[in-house]
Structure 1
Amino acid sequence: MLLAALNDYARRRGLLDEVLWATRPVYFLLRITHEGRFVALVPTAKHGAGMPMRIPRPPQRASNVAAGFLVDNPKYVLGLAEGSESQEKKAGARVSAFHSLAAMATEATRSPVARAVAAFTADASARAQALAARPSGTWTGTELLAFVVEGSDVPAHEEPALREWWENRGEADAAEGDAGQCLVSGDVTVLARLHERIRGVPGTLAMGGRLVSTNNDAFESHGLEQGANAPVGKQAALGYVLALNHLLEPTPKRNYRHGIRLAEDTVLVLWTDGPAEEAEQLLTLMDPTSPELKRMPTDGVQAPEVRRGARLFAVTLSGNMGRVAIRDMLEVSLTTAVSNVRRFLDDLRIHSAPARPMPVWRLLNALEDRAEVGVPPDLATRMVRAILTGSAFPQALLVAALKVMTVERRGDDADGLHVTTRAQLIHACLLRSGGTAAAALCVPPTKDGPVALVLGRLLAVLEQLDGGEGFRERHFARFSHSPANAFPTLLRRAIMQERRHPRLARLMGELVAALPGSGFPKALGTEDRGLVAVGYARQRCAL
């Protein structure tokens, strides 16, 4: 389902129209003479990023040697080796493979440009000069280099005759390989041996990571190698990669075109079966950027109009060096998803103000602990699934939000916002739980409401009477766990401030009077502690 949906996306966006070309950052232009002598190494990078350039699509590599056509990294173009004897031997094979492609193009087209590149790669001294153009140790081995031959500023791979040769060769290569039934399309076609890397998934290498790969002996126990273990046609294998790379590309507005960062190594990607605007509108509703938040009206959430029958697809990906793992995937009606997001925003309301958009990034930021470590990727993934599907939130999310209620970010103007955000998430968790706490939150707040809510309000008043920094950090956990042990001491301290703050003292008395005759509870369970947090945040906002 996932790979088929991504291939549909790639076809609708025209990403498969030119499969033999790709846009990659090129870091250096290698200027040479027609005889293949080295002239200069010209950097193209600005602010650490290479210049995006349309180049012949790089080959798939695992441990194999496979060269790009006229554009590649210094290991293939210049023979850069990493020091060991085995790497020295492999360096020769890499340069030879790169040289062979240039020589083949020269023979077929008689192009002087291809001849110059072939002459350069055959000349060890010219390659050494190019390597020495940068200080020793500064080559990483991943920088892409393109050639420019004297008398022209056009990169060698852009010469029309060489472009035509590359495209003809690509069509022939596409027809080579083992045939079989593609698991994605169902067609009998030429199968992909290796799948391309997906770029942009956090936690992966700079060159990206593979979603589908087999590189252990255990995977060959049935006599199958590489892609034969999960047969996918060449076009389908390329289509899903192009789709994910497109969805994960940064834009001027967002870090990901259609993605939401959930953790250090995890991203949620979503798209629809229609125009791109549909996914963009859902992202604006679900995870608006700071500029979008400022432009939104203050009188409630404006939900977008939804095309009838529209489908939403979502997949959560995590990176682990050279691999990409799927944490979750979802297909749901777009109408249902929009309705569920609106319901979630309504569930966040802890007072009578209209519902407002709550970015996922703000929720996750508020859940960071004192060391600024957020919730685990799996929990963030389950939280977002609950938002999109309208299901109950995991109990672990409620526990995580309660745990960080004690975190105070002193000197941070956003500390109050974080407290409110945590309480809002706790409010939503409790409403979805369906227990007594959910019932308590569905009635208008009063002074004689549920005991836990009254205790939370009382804690906010005591904080104001105390007036010192770190009150919540020192007292919230003990107060919400064991009110009978914590409250008497706090009340005695607060009585000393009655004359200075008569209004707060009067409110404190009213709240204490609203407690049952049995006094403060000895202990509170998780849901009641959640009610304490909600009552605390409500009263904090009121004060």
Structure 2
Amino acid sequence: MIIQSLCRHYDVLEGDENVNIPKIGYSNAKVSFALVITPDGFLSHIVDLRSDDKKPKPKDMDVPIQKSRASGVFPYFVCDNAKYVFGVEKVKRSEFEKKFNLASSEENSVEHTVLEENDKEVTLVHRRSRECFETFKTLHHSILDGLDDQEVRGFLAFLDGWNPEEFLENPKTREYKDDLLAGGNCVFECDGNFLHQKSAVRNAWETYSQNETDNTFSQCLISGKVEPVAKIHQKIKGVVGAQSAGASIVSFNNDAFCSYGKKQSFNSPISEYAMFKYTTALNHLLSSQSNRIRIADTTVVFWAETSEKSCEELVKFFFDPPEPEKKEEKNIEGSRVQDITRIKEIEGILNKIRIGKKVNQEDIGTDPETNFYILGLSPNNARLAVRFWYIDSIGNLIEKVARHHLDMEIIRDYYGPRCISIYRLLNETVPQSSDKKTVSPLLGGLILRSILTGTGYPISLYNAILSRVKVDGSINFVRAGFIKAYLLRLSRAGLSNLNQDLITMSLNEESLSVPYRLGRLFAALEKAQNDTNREMKSTINSKYFSSASSTPAVVFPVLLKLAQHHIAKSEWGFRSNQLIEQILAGVDEFPAYLNLEDQGMFMLGYYHQRKAFFTKKEVPLNEEVSL
């Protein structure tokens, strides 16, 4: 299903005039340099195609397809690195001494010519790099020899006349030697035209690709047609944590993965065309900011079976809403400008879902019955692991994600976002003081599954949030919102004795829940202490919060006795005493122990009461606020 869906998405992208996606026989590559060749076959100069940023980035270009080359010598057509284009390579000193400087035995001796060396690196021409250059030259002669084109003849003359040992003697290559040998791709420019963009060269390449004789034919599992089978599938790039050169989603490298004597991808025959379509579509999605988010160690890509992009942008906004900018903070990745129109769309959808209405085409910009796909990928050495795969209509998906945000609604600071991203929610499970926040990869998949299926939230995430509140002695609107959402869904499913009507967005003074009242009581006692001495370093929060939320019968008698000393000294003592009496009116006795659900109600009561102390007015549900 995954590969079939990606192939269909490629067909959608190919028919969209606004999308630049490689055609069959081509792929997107990062190109660093253009080598300008004169008509008589000399290297005139080198053009740096990289961006002018502090860390230069290569230019994305559509070039003849660059298939994966895990091993062996395999040149690419009119776009390759310095090892193939010039026959030169740079290696680390330790690697050089291990591979090239051991002449004690015949099998270790390797023919090589050192061009330049220092304590760390060695630039050299050796048998393997010279073979790479020769096969590169042979490939281009076999494809281009029959063309009557002056620019092509000049390019072939350059290859015929190039000597790898003269790499550092040429002033053009010496100027860029370090960058060229770093592995960046080079293309060729002749008379102001890129060689790979010339129609004659493209036609020659396409003819050559279609007439390759080493193809094995079999029935494709995707199309059902008898076609040439892809022996090795293209690498997938852009998954966080995976190898920068790309990783495989379909591969066979062990006898245990093979059957009936078939090797590599012949075990699951997918045609070259289908392989090209699904890998190109997936790489396109991973390169698009509008079609991907990150959840823990998982890179999530999503797409709709339509050329309309508004629904994908809407889903991206729901999953990863922008944080309100703070003047004192600078976003390294660039300022995220809030889209007022998008905010109003989200508000309209949330209000519809709240009153039980269905979203329609006007709300989301496309037919609500359109299929929508979500794919979660995580790194696994040189491969990719599929964490989850979800298919639903875009209408149902929007409703489920909107319901999640409605369940998470909680009274908050005015600068707090209305919708909380999954990334920010998961970050609440790790110490906020940690420089490197490592979120459990399991939690990411569990929370997303709960959102997409509309089921209860994972107890492991709930327990992790409770633990952080106890350890930190503080609860913010993100933690409080999730605790409320967890208890709400638990009650809604009939798995708890809690009344969902008592689980509210803001302070509920009428609630008869004892744990909720005890949380309010702890907040009132804490305020009574702070009113006496605001500069106090050690408060009841740091000493007693964890035990008060777990074993109130042990802690609260001590806290009430201590509070009387603070109330007697405070000028607001009467108000504090009055509030404490009002809260205790609904508590017959202090429970000896609170289970996990009751601990959540305790923390919710604590959070609501504190917000009531410091909030002048509550934010109405229908008020337009920053997301």
Q: TM-score range by the shorter chain?
A: 0.7 to 0.9
Q: For residue 121 of structure 2, what is the aligned residue in structure 1?
A: none
Equivalent of residue 454 in structure 1, options 508, 511, 517: 517
In structure 1, distance between residues paired with 2:470 and 2:35:
57
In structure 2, distance between residues paired with 1:407 and 1:153:
65
The reply to whether residue 315 of structure 1 matches residue 348 of structure 2 is no
State how 1:187-336 maps to structure 2 within 5 Å.
187-220=225-258, 222-250=260-288, 256-263=289-296, 265-274=297-306, 275-290=308-323, 291-292=337-338, 296-297=343-344, 301=350, 304-305=363-364, 307-336=367-396
Deviations 1:111-141 (A, max 9, x none): 44344444444421344446643465x6664
Q: Are the structure 2 counterparts of residues 474 and 311 from structure 1 closer, same or farther at C-alpha, using a change threshold of 3 Å?
A: farther
Please tell me the root mean square deviation across aligned C-alpha atoms, in Å: 3.1
For the 8 Å contact 1:27–1:144, the answer to whether it is kept is yes
* Structure 1 residue 36 displacement after superposition: 4.0
Equivalent of residue 395 in structure 1, options 456, 459, 470: 459
The reply to whether residue 542 of structure 1 matches residue 580 of structure 2 is no
Equivalent of residue 146 in structure 1, options 176, 187, 191: 187
Q: Which runs of 5+ in 1 are unaligned?
A: 251-255, 410-415
Task: Indicate the larger mover: 237-246 or 444-453.
Answer: 444-453
In structure 2, distance between residues paired with 1:10 and 1:382:
29
Give the alignment's TM-score, normalised by structure 2.
Answer: 0.76
Equivalent of residue 78 in structure 1, options 83, 86, 102: 86
Deviations 1:67-90 (A, max 9, x none): 111111222223325333489443
Deviations 1:45-102 (A, max 9, x none): 2222112222222122222322111111222223325333489443233222221222
Task: Indicate the larger mover: 120-129 or 446-455.
Answer: 120-129
Task: Indicate the larger mover: 88-97 or 180-189.
Answer: 88-97
Q: Are the structure 2 counterparts of residues 490 and 100 from structure 1 closer, same or farther at C-alpha, using a change threshold of 3 Å?
A: farther
Q: For residue 525 of structure 1, what is the aligned residue in structure 2?
A: 595
In structure 2, distance between residues paired with 1:477 and 1:65:
63
Whichever residue aligns with residue 382 of structure 2, its letter is G
The reply to whether residue 481 of structure 1 matches residue 481 of structure 2 is no
Q: Are the structure 2 counterparts of residues 447 and 236 from structure 1 closer, same or farther at C-alpha, using a change threshold of 3 Å?
A: same
Q: Are the structure 2 counterparts of residues 206 and 424 from structure 1 closer, same or farther at C-alpha, using a change threshold of 3 Å?
A: same
Q: For residue 62 of structure 1, what is the aligned residue in structure 2?
A: 70
In structure 2, distance between residues paired with 1:407 and 1:98:
62
* Structure 1 residue 11 displacement after superposition: 0.4
- What percentage of residue pairs aligned between the two structures are identical? 28
* Structure 1 residue 497 displacement after superposition: 3.0
For the 8 Å contact 1:9–1:273, the answer to whether it is kept is yes
Deviations 1:395-443 (A, max 9, x none): 111112212224659xxxxxx8x71111111221222224565633423
In structure 1, distance between residues paired with 2:538 and 2:135:
65
Q: Secondary structure at the match of 1:19?
A: coil
The reply to whether residue 510 of structure 1 matches residue 582 of structure 2 is yes
In structure 2, distance between residues paired with 1:351 and 1:447:
17
In structure 2, distance between residues paired with 1:346 and 1:326:
29
In structure 1, distance between residues paired with 2:572 and 2:255:
75
Task: Indicate the larger mover: 283-292 or 322-331.
Answer: 283-292
Q: Which runs of 5+ in 2 are unaligned?
A: 16-20, 101-109, 111-124, 324-336, 352-358, 531-535, 614-627
For the 8 Å contact 1:478–1:486, the answer to whether it is kept is yes
Q: Are the structure 2 counterparts of residues 116 and 406 from structure 1 closer, same or farther at C-alpha, using a change threshold of 3 Å?
A: farther
Equivalent of residue 572 in structure 2, options 501, 510, 513: 501
Whichever residue aligns with residue 460 of structure 1, its letter is A
Q: For residue 412 of structure 1, what is the aligned residue in structure 2?
A: none
- Greater Rg by CA: 2
In structure 2, distance between residues paired with 1:420 and 1:98:
60
* Structure 1 residue 351 displacement after superposition: 5.5
* Structure 1 residue 461 displacement after superposition: 2.7
In structure 2, distance between residues paired with 1:310 and 1:112:
52
Q: For residue 163 of structure 2, what is the aligned residue in structure 1?
A: 123
For the 8 Å contact 2:430–2:438, the answer to whether it is kept is yes
Q: For residue 366 of structure 1, what is the aligned residue in structure 2?
A: 428
Deviations 1:349-385 (A, max 9, x none): 34699x9433223323333323252431221112112
Whichever residue aligns with residue 451 of structure 2, its letter is I
For the 8 Å contact 2:368–2:393, the answer to whether it is kept is no
Q: Are the structure 2 counterparts of residues 221 and 92 from structure 1 closer, same or farther at C-alpha, using a change threshold of 3 Å?
A: farther
In structure 2, distance between residues paired with 1:216 and 1:299:
52
The reply to whether residue 27 of structure 1 matches residue 32 of structure 2 is yes
In structure 1, distance between residues paired with 2:576 and 2:347:
31
Q: For residue 50 of structure 2, what is the aligned residue in structure 1?
A: 45
Equivalent of residue 476 in structure 2, options 419, 436, 457: 419
Q: Are the structure 2 counterparts of residues 245 and 187 from structure 1 closer, same or farther at C-alpha, using a change threshold of 3 Å?
A: same
* Structure 1 residue 510 displacement after superposition: 2.3
Whichever residue aligns with residue 92 of structure 1, its letter is R
For the 8 Å contact 2:427–2:439, the answer to whether it is kept is no
Whichever residue aligns with residue 401 of structure 1, its letter is I
Q: Are the structure 2 counterparts of residues 505 and 115 from structure 1 closer, same or farther at C-alpha, using a change threshold of 3 Å?
A: farther
* Structure 1 residue 4 displacement after superposition: 0.6
For the 8 Å contact 1:327–1:378, the answer to whether it is kept is no
Q: Are the structure 2 counterparts of residues 162 and 398 from structure 1 closer, same or farther at C-alpha, using a change threshold of 3 Å?
A: same
Deviations 1:464-514 (A, max 9, x none): 334456865654333322223333444444333322433344323322343
For the 8 Å contact 2:426–2:443, the answer to whether it is kept is no
* Structure 1 residue 318 displacement after superposition: 0.7
In structure 1, distance between residues paired with 2:8 and 2:542:
51
Q: For residue 382 of structure 1, what is the aligned residue in structure 2?
A: 446
Q: For residue 413 of structure 1, what is the aligned residue in structure 2?
A: none
Whichever residue aligns with residue 144 of structure 1, its letter is N
In structure 2, distance between residues paired with 1:125 and 1:110:
31
State how 1:79-94 maps to structure 2 within 5 Å.
79=87, 80-82=89-91, 83=96, 84-85=99-100, 88-94=126-132
Q: Secondary structure at the match of 2:499?
A: helix
Q: Are the structure 2 counterparts of residues 186 and 476 from structure 1 closer, same or farther at C-alpha, using a change threshold of 3 Å?
A: farther
For the 8 Å contact 1:102–1:115, the answer to whether it is kept is no
The reply to whether residue 342 of structure 1 matches residue 402 of structure 2 is yes
In structure 2, distance between residues paired with 1:45 and 1:473:
54
Q: For residue 220 of structure 2, what is the aligned residue in structure 1?
A: 182
For the 8 Å contact 1:73–1:142, the answer to whether it is kept is yes
In structure 2, distance between residues paired with 1:72 and 1:481:
64
In structure 2, distance between residues paired with 1:64 and 1:75:
13
Task: Indicate the larger mover: 302-311 or 220-229.
Answer: 302-311
